[in-house]
Amino acid sequence: MAAKFFGQFLLEKGVISSAQLLRALDVQRASNPALGEIAVEFGMLTASQALTINERQRREDKRFGDIAQAMGLLTGEEVAQLLDTQKARRKLFGEILVEEGFLDAARLEAELREHAGERDDAMRSLDGMLAAHQHGRRVANAIAACNKLFPRLLRTQCQFSAVVDPAALPAFGAVAIVRVAADRPLVIGLAADDATVAALGAAFMSLPVDACDAELARDAYGELVNVLMGYVVKDSLPEDAAYRAEPPDFSTTLPALAAEGQVLVAMASQLGPFVLVIG
């Protein structure tokens, strides 16, 4: 059983159409502006200052407001005001479906219950794998890192979907992995199709997809894996552990990684599906 975003779940059941899904996602994105956007709107920061803070977030495991305060650009009271505004504007996906007239409240409630049941089944399969596998902690850390990084760096959500069966690999040709030499060596990487790589790369660079060519998208994709590696190393290796990370490798295929015994976890994101590689 694979976990899906609620919108994809409804689309596959035929409850909503593709056009309705896209409309609801557009409304949801508009209702959830980044903290920097609100700060610029309120005149608390310039666009350049907000961009500088965002760039620091790529390198540091800190929240936007904490970095802004450390730089002396915002006060604690201003950050609290921005967070309150962001929360007040945010709309739930189901709420938007009802507001737009795509579902009534009763149907929404029934579909939410069914969706929660499917997600619970998928999470139980993940929990079983994490408990039994020697790299279970690393896998959990990598999934948690993606869940944290995607909203922060790419302004989109991602979530666990399913443990990939090595005998039924997705046809994802764009693979980027980083191998980390340490007392307990580590492998971390992403695999996706070209369209998802283009979307991930453009989001990472804060560019429209049509302004991000294939080479630039690939470089950004590799840098995203580097950032992910940093988080997983921090959470998986002892603080005083010596390690050396190799540059991103784009030459190893998904079947080769499966043959090596790496763990492959399917992830869903609003920018496209991808596989998280951990070992």
- Mean pLDDT for the stretch of residues 46-61: 86
Q: Please report whether residue 29 resides in a domain.
A: no
Asked if pLDDT for residue 235 goes beyond 90, the answer is no
Q: What is the CATH number of the domain that holds 246?
A: 3.40.1550.10
Q: Which domain holds residue 257?
A: 136-278
Q: Please report whether residue 36 resides in a domain.
A: no
Confidence (pLDDT) at 160: 95
Q: Please report whether residue 209 resides in a domain.
A: yes
Q: Please report whether residue 198 resides in a domain.
A: yes
Q: Please report whether residue 241 resides in a domain.
A: yes
β-sheet bridge partners, residue 278: 188, 263
Confidence (pLDDT) at 1: 62
The model carries a pTM of 0.82
Cα–chain center distance at 182: 26
Confidence (pLDDT) at 239: 81
Q: Please report whether residue 25 resides in a domain.
A: no
Confidence (pLDDT) at 93: 94
Confidence (pLDDT) at 153: 84
Confidence (pLDDT) at 74: 95
- Mean pLDDT for the stretch of residues 159-172: 93
13-27, 145-159, 253-267: the lowest-pLDDT one: 145-159
Q: Please report whether residue 110 resides in a domain.
A: no
Q: Please report whether residue 58 resides in a domain.
A: no
Confidence (pLDDT) at 170: 94
DSSP string for residues in the chain: -----HHHHHHHHTSS-HHHHHHHHHHHHHTS--HHHHHHHTTSS-HHHHHHHHHHHHHSS--HHHHHHHTTSS-HHHHHHHHHHHHHH---HHHHHHHTTSS-HHHHHHHHHHHHHHHHHHHHHHHHHHHHSTTHHHHHHHHHHHHHHIIIIISS-EEEEEEPPTTS-----EEEEEEEESSS-EEEEEEE-HHHHHHHHHHHHT--GGGS-HHHHHHHHHHHHHHHHHHHHHHHS-TT---EEPPPB----HHHHHHHT-EEEEEEETT--EEEEE-
Confidence (pLDDT) at 151: 87
Structural domain total, the chain = 1
Confidence (pLDDT) at 225: 96
For the chain, give the mean pLDDT: 93
Confidence tier at 67 by pLDDT (50, 70, 90): very high
